[in-house]
Each structure stands twice: as C-alpha cells, then as structure tokens.
Amino acid sequence: MSRIFRCFPLAALLFMSVGCAHNYYNIPQDTYEKKIRVIGVAPIFVDEASDIRHPEKEPLLALVRNQNRKNEQELVSLLKDTGVYLAVRMPEAQADELFSSLFFRRERRMDAGVIYNKYFFKQQELKDLIVKNHLDALMLVVVSGLTSPDKIYSSNLLSFLETDYNYLIMTAQIFDPDGAVLWEYPNFQKRMLSYTTLLNLQYPDFDEAAANVTDKVDVKFKTIPGLARAFDKTKASSINDVKVSRLYSDVFGDMLSMLKRKFRFFWEKDDRGAAAPRPEPVQPQPAPKASVSAPSAPVMTVTEPVPAPPGEIKTETLTPVTK
C-alpha cells in the first residue's frame, strides 16, 4: 500500500506536464481555433534567390519544385487530420508566380541559437488572395537556401569537421486577412527547439583525406542524382494510402507538433474569452528608399557568411583550430 502512495506524486507530476502544453500560436490557441475555421495552404514555394550555392543550381531548383508538388498534399492532409479546421483548401495557382506576387523581403535570423530565413509578404496582395478564395487564413511555406555552421562526423564517428555547410530549409507562416502572423515555423517563443533542416547540400570528404594521408578535408556538393535519391526515400503516409518523402515528412512532423489541438483537462479553464490577440503584423511595402521597421520580437539579424576554405579534420582528442 505504501508503494502505491509513493507513486501518487509521480503520477500528479505526469498529469501536470501533459496539461501544461505549449501554445506555439502568436495568439491564444482557443481564440485561433474559434476564428480560423477555413484555412488555405498555398503551393510550397522555392526561393531561388536565397542562399543556394550548389554549382548546378537550375537542375537543383527543378528537382525541389518537383518534390514540392509531389509532397505538398501530405501537408494538406495532416492539417485536415488535426480536427481544428472545417475545411483545408489549396488555392489554384502556380507556385513561382504566386511567390513572385506576394514576396516582399527575407531576413536571415538567429533565434534561440538557430539560424533560419524569415519571410515578409505584401499585405494587400495577401489579403486579396485570402478574400478571393473565401479563407479565414492562409499558410505560406517556403523552401530556401541557407549557409550555417555545423559539425559533421565521419562514418566511423571518430573524426568530425566543424565548418559552414549549405542547406535547404523549410519555413512556414499562417496569416489572417489583415496580414497578421498567427503562427510560424520555426517558433522559439515557448522553449528551446531543434530545427530540422530539409537537406544538407554538402558533405566533408573524409575518405579522400584519408586516401591522401592528410588532415585537410574538402567540403563538396552532393550530386544532383544523389540529392534526387535522398528525396526519393519514402515512407507510408500516416493519413493517406500514399508514399511521402522522408525528408518532407520529418519537417511536416515538426510543424504539426506545433499545430495540433492543445490537450486540456476537464477542470482547465477555456480561454476563448482571452484578451484580443496581438500578433506580429506583416510589414507594409514601403516607399522607395524607405526603411522597414524591425519586428517586435527580439531577434538577431545575421549577415551572410563568407565561404570557408577546406577545413581540417578533427577528432575529439584534438584541440579545435581557431578559424
């Protein structure tokens, strides 16, 4: 009997941790669910002017566009499965043309120690699109290029190379007709999170360095056929009887973990009567040469890194070389 009583504090702690779910929306989640009943998902964009450094850029862009079309319906299905929305629609539009008409600017951000691209869109064009399609809100998802520092280990896990690598990443935002950002990915407001990149475009060639008996290792770009094979590794959809790219599925899974309905015990108070939302507004397009005001969230804007020369292989027993 005493053993049962000793388990009560642990059980209470478990229930409390489940009940204290994080709200990753920029407004109270109950307010969001009451306000947003019909959501649109634009075709996934690719920002070709972002930091994509692959030497075969055009074939890479074509590959990414094709993969976006093949996998974006999975995101629509996942949103439907949340049970939050009465309807989830995908407006009929060409992704590149739509992105060109909506794009305002991008910022390279560092938030919670993670570097990513944040996007701003034209407010009037965004509102017109939402109203035209009879939506309460619209999700915009962008695949873009980014160079950031990382540590990659060799296959035997004994050596590593810490330097800058070029990645493809995915970001997303949900806007209301007034251009307010209701939700965004990544979102670090509530706690520290890891950020799943879509695909690393580069790799350190440890085998070449070993063959040449040197500690200097080149960072090389993966081939287009190799990248295509990485995209084509699929898994069964959790929603439909289809296959989805594991790369997209991993990122969609992270997104949905911050979109699902919040768990609430029967004794918890419903916050539908919460104060009016204070989401981050979309920046209006300024007049020529006018500066754009900084967003309200405390963030750090990072300048583009200079490409690094070939790095030096390190092991855990060596002192890292100052660059």
Nearest to 89 by CA among 125, 39, 139, 55: 39
- Which amino acid does the sequence have at 308? A
Report in angstroms the alpha-carbon separations of 219 from 58, 179, 207, 310.
21, 41, 12, 6
Q: What digits encode the pLDDT tens for the residues 179-234?
A: 999 999 998 765 556 789 999 999 999 999 989 999 899 999 999 999 999 999 99
Q: What are phi and psi of 191, to 5 degrees?
A: -165, 165
Q: Which two tokens stand for residue 224?
A: 């287009």
pTM: 0.77
Q: CA 124, 127, 132, 133 torsion: positive or negative?
A: positive
Q: Are strands 300-301 and 103-111 parallel, antiparallel or unpaired?
A: antiparallel
Q: What digits encode the pLDDT tens for the residues 31-84?
A: 899 999 999 999 999 999 999 999 999 999 999 999 999 999 999 999 999 989
Q: Which two tokens stand for residue 202?
A: 């580069």
Nearest to 234 by CA among 226, 243, 221: 243
CB atoms < 10 A from the CB of 209, how many? Answer: 21
